[in-house]
Chains A and B, each alone.
Chain A
Amino acid sequence: EPEVTQTPSHQVTQMGQEVILRCVPISNHLYFYWYRQILGQKVEFLVSFYNNEISEKSEIFDDQFSVERPDGSNFTLKIRSTKLEDSAMYFCASRWQGDLAYEQYFGPGTRLTVT
């Protein structure tokens, strides 16, 4: 069964550095998402992406964040200048159809540690 994959599984970076988290969604899916989960807290929506543009973003997704689908397979989340509070698990998800009732498939997550 096809799965969403994410790399790396764990990323350690210094405060102020740029970091790119990578995701490969399921190949025939059209909608892509990023979420984060700070340790001990709930999963939080960051951004959704469709047809090569952002369709929704949360208040967390400020100018330090950007997303890109650079080719037909990858979906990336860039944090321009990381802060300590960006330390979290970052989950990518994808969905096939526009119908909101369709399932989002989640990747295993990337643990980002900012020191």
Chain B
Amino acid sequence: AQRVTQPEKLLSVFKGAPVELKCNYSYSGSPELFWYVQYSRQRLQLLLRHISRESIKGFTADLNKGETSFHLKKPFAQEEDSAMYYCALTHNNDMRFGAGTRLTVKP
């Protein structure tokens, strides 16, 4: 069965520090993986997807099929990055979310 695991519920870093939000998945096929972000009092919005290999707001994520991971990284965290981050996997027109990690970037 497909499953997405985000081991950290809470992550706190200081402004300017590197940040890595972990995501592991279990899925037998070739997954489509995403990171969604939810800022305070806003809707879920796409941050990035593995297929486009892009960098959004300084964030990157690399799909590692060997480790079944899709960790989200940013070299220098900003206060405005404080939000809930959800890793998600889609297959056959459904989407499975991880439990989410609340990132707090302290000044």
Contact = CB atoms under 8 A, between A and B. Distances in A.
A18 interface: no
Given A41-B99, A43-B86, A103-B49, A109 B91 contact: no
B44 A91 contact: yes
Main secondary structure of the interface of B (DSSP, over half): strand
B69 interface: no
Contacts of B97: 35, 42-45
Q: Is the interface of A mostly helix, strand, loop or mixed?
A: strand
Contacts of A100: 32, 90-91, 93
Contact of A33 (B49, B92, B95, B99): B95
Given A100-B32, A103-B49, A43 B94 contact: no
A104 B92 CA distance: 14
A73 interface: no
Interface residues of B, number: 23
B45 interface: yes
Chain A, interface size category, equals: 20 to 34
B95 A106 contact: no
Contacts of B52: 101
A21 B25 CA distance: 31
Contacts of B42: 108
Interface of A: 4, 31, 33, 35, 41-45, 48, 50, 55-56, 58, 91, 93, 100-101, 103-104, 106-109
Interface of B: 32, 34, 36, 42-46, 49, 51-52, 86, 90-100
